[in-house]
A = this chain, B = another copy of it.
Amino acid sequence: MTLLSELSTPCALVDTQRMQANIDRMQQRMNALGVRFRPHVKTAKCVPVAEAQIAAGAQGVTVSTLKEAEQFFAAGIKDILYAVGMVATKLPQVHALLQRGCNLKIITDSVAAAREIGRYGSEHGVKFEVWIEIDTDGHRSGIKPEEDTLLEVAHALRDTGMALGGVLTHAGSSYDYDTHEALLEISEQERAGAVRAAQRLREAGLDCPEVSIGSTPTALTAEHLDGVTEVRAGVYVFFDLVMHNVGVCTTDEIALSVLTTVIGHQEEKGWAIVDAGWMAMSRDRGTQKQKQDFGYGQVCTEDGRPLEGYIISAANQEHGILSRSGEPDTGIAERFPIGTRLRILPNHACATGAQFPEYQAVLPDGSTATWPRFYGW
């Protein structure tokens, strides 16, 4: 049994009690709203985390890479949505997963890609289940609900014998807001846009069984999800400082942190140097333009209590510069002597987790367990 105090630094800690509370909170919301929940497992890329989500009631998962599909299918999860636009070169890998029994759904938002999918499917005698990506907030990919392209894509799929599984959208711009009113508005826009797209398809006599929406902020804000069949969200499982600034979690709910050690000081500048630089925290500066800029992360005691005003203000590859916001703390060497261990809450859990080959899960009894995670494509 390895204790927290025995872990070498830097390492990525998962507070399993917080994680479980985050999982339960989201699942209970989805149950109350009457929709299925399909978590986005790109945040953790970790089988024990996905298993906890499924144990709580999640049905299927969402992935951002085909490697995630391979890995989670190998772990026994069959119902998988690959939520990045399909291109022809990736179809053989999808095909192979289908042949092995994976219920993998793919997405598209263009006639050109739909035709490629249909062509491959026809040539190889495979009926891909394809969902159409809808753009409900202009932040990235997708077809606007009222665009002609929506029906053109659906027809291109039908004409080649593919299965139209549904529509999906992701209001990624919800990350840009920080009031309940604004989040409520973007949530309703996300819901209404996806439902409208499905309605247009159905009015044209096309199948559209699924209406899938979601992002952590909208999933935690929506007051009703009429017409929606499933919700996707990812970062809620750990939360992070960006989500804190958006207003959907407190710092006490953030389940991921980086354990670090103080390795030096520049006292006159009020700096402590820690062994978590940007390689550990990631280069994500997601709070830079938000209402509170946490630099590269919020400093906490080793047992997780936030130290108000102390942040990682700058970072090199393996050096973090810990300082107090505002007035320099020239007593920093006494406050955090060399060898002091601290936890750092990250800006963005998806980016920080990705820097580590494994998580150290901190269990309720204070012991730790190593949870492997994977990366790459």
Contact = CB atoms under 8 A, between A and B. Distances in A.
B350 A375 contact: no
A317 B285 CA distance: 14
A90 B375 contact: no
A318 B261 contact: no
A351 B282 CA distance: 9
A81 B273 CA distance: 19
A357 interface: yes
Given A85-B273, A116-B339, A351 B283 contact: yes
B337 A112 contact: yes
Nearest to A319: B140
Contacts of A273: 85, 140-141
A317 B64 contact: yes
A263 B8 contact: no
A8 B377 contact: yes
A318 B11 contact: no
A356 interface: yes
A357 B338 contact: no
Given A110-B265, A283-B351, A64 B318 contact: yes
Pairs of residues from A and B, 10 with the lowest C-beta to C-beta distance, nearest first = A283-B283, A357-B376, A85-B263, A283-B284, A64-B318, A85-B264, A112-B338, A84-B318, A141-B264, A87-B263
A278 B110 contact: no
A145 interface: no
Given A110-B265, A141-B264, A283-B284, A357 B375 contact: yes
30 contacts: A8-B89, A8-B93, A9-B377, A64-B318, A65-B318, A84-B275, A84-B319, A85-B263, A86-B263, A87-B262, A87-B263, A87-B275, A89-B261, A89-B339, A116-B338, A116-B339, A135-B266, A140-B273, A140-B316, A140-B319, A141-B264, A279-B354, A280-B377, A283-B284, A283-B285, A283-B348, A283-B351, A357-B375, A358-B376, A375-B375
Nearest to A348: B283
A339 B109 contact: no
A219 to B, nearest CB: 17
B87 A338 contact: yes
Contacts of A109: 264
Interface in A215-264: 261-264
Interface string A142-168: 000000000000000000000000000
Contacts of A140: 273, 316, 319, 321
Given A8-B89, A283-B285, A351-B278, A319 B376 contact: no
A205 to B, nearest CB: 26
A113 interface: yes
A318 to B, nearest CB: 4
Interface string A170-208: 001000000000000000000000000000000000000
B356 A316 contact: no
Contacts of A88: 339
